[in-house]
Amino acid sequence: MSDASAAAPTMIDPFGRTVNYLRVSVTDRCDFRCTYCMAENMTFLPKKDLLTLEELDRMCTAFVDKGVRKIRLTGGEPLVRKNIMQLVRQIGRHIDAGRMDELTLTTNGSQLTRFASELYECGVRRINVSIDTLDPDKFRKITRWGELGKVLEGVKAAQQAGLGIKINAVALKGFNDTEIPEMLKWAHGQGMDMTVIETMPMGEIDEDRTDQYLPLSLLRANLERQFTLEDIPFNTGGPARYVKVAETGGKLGFITPMTHNFCESCNRVRLTCTGTLYMCLGQNDAADLRAPLRASEGNELLSDAIDEAIGRKPKGHDFIIDRTTRQPAVARHMSVTGG
């Protein structure tokens, strides 16, 4: 066999970017109702529309066959999906076989005391936990239903299980902007990295996003009054740009879809729990993979549909938040696409 034919398969989009990272929303349901993400009274997808766990495994395996090396499970809240560990274990077999580099997930932390050890056993080595404030009352206000104490217990359980943790915080003007320095010290003091994220105009919510929006360029300038931030080339395969914080020794990431989109190096596509593939978080163009998946016991039709979708991955997105653009950039909620 020649070296060329033995080479691992790769998916290349129209702009020459290698697509090797799949984010999978395993459910649109969540046990929180974060104000910047969901309306309080959400209408969730009928369960009959969701891919089964077996179908999700088939989808993920088809992408691994095409060169995906990293899969992140998201939601909603992925750990509220019934029997979710079945899927985690199945995908984890690709790591054991050397066909994948990493399986991770993003969680609100509410279920970690229950699942942390099993996640590690299934091959997960690091997770992202979303925490926007360390004030219990503010935490209840922003999540509507969440309990900070339960989440912090989950973080502790995950660390004890051996999982690396990165804290994700959405920067919200007038809510947690002044709290970010203390959160940074807390996270780094616990041996966790942290990433701050600009709020994104996705889905109708009960708040005005123009009141919430905080450019991270402004947040960084404020942080630099207290901390020495040094740009570093560290990369986890996602969109964050990282700095080293001299005073704490930890890393801080900035995800800036609004002020400085990260499209030029995008290596990601997103699969929803109904089998819809979004080639870009901020565009509505999508591909139905559920129909070809269910049309045949083999994966030939699915493979062709994936190729066709990657062939129209766009160059980037253009999110806008201002007083004149009241409508979200895309109508679907973040919980549908998967964070």
Residues placed in the known binding site: 23, 30, 34, 36-37, 72, 76, 106, 130, 166, 200, 263, 266, 268-270, 280
Annotated binding site for GTP: 23, 72, 106, 166, 268-270
Specify binding-site residues for S-adenosyl-L-methionine.
36, 76, 130, 200
- Residues making up the binding site for [4Fe-4S] cluster: 30, 34, 37, 263, 266, 280
Q: And the tokens for 22?
A: 């799949």
- Return the closest-CA partner of residue 273 out of 61, 22, 28: 28
Selection from 103, 124, 98, 123 nearest residue 8 by Cα: 98
Query: Residue 74's closest CA among 61, 60, 62, 95?
Result: 60
Specify the length of the chain in residues.
339
Helices (H) and strands (E) in the chain, counts: 12, 14
Report CA torsion sign: 73, 78, 79, 85.
negative
**Of the candidates 158, 51, 145, the residue with the CA atom closest to the CA atom of residue 113:** 158
Q: Render the burial of 153-177: b for 16+ CB within 10 Å, e for the rest.
A: ebbebbbebebebbbbbbbbeebbe
What is the signed CA dihedral for 290, 295, 298, 303, rounded to 10 degrees?
-50
State the Rg of the chain over Cα: 19
HSE of 277, CA atoms in CB hemisphere, 13 A: 29
Identity of residue 188: H
- Per the listing, tokens 């969109």 go with 239
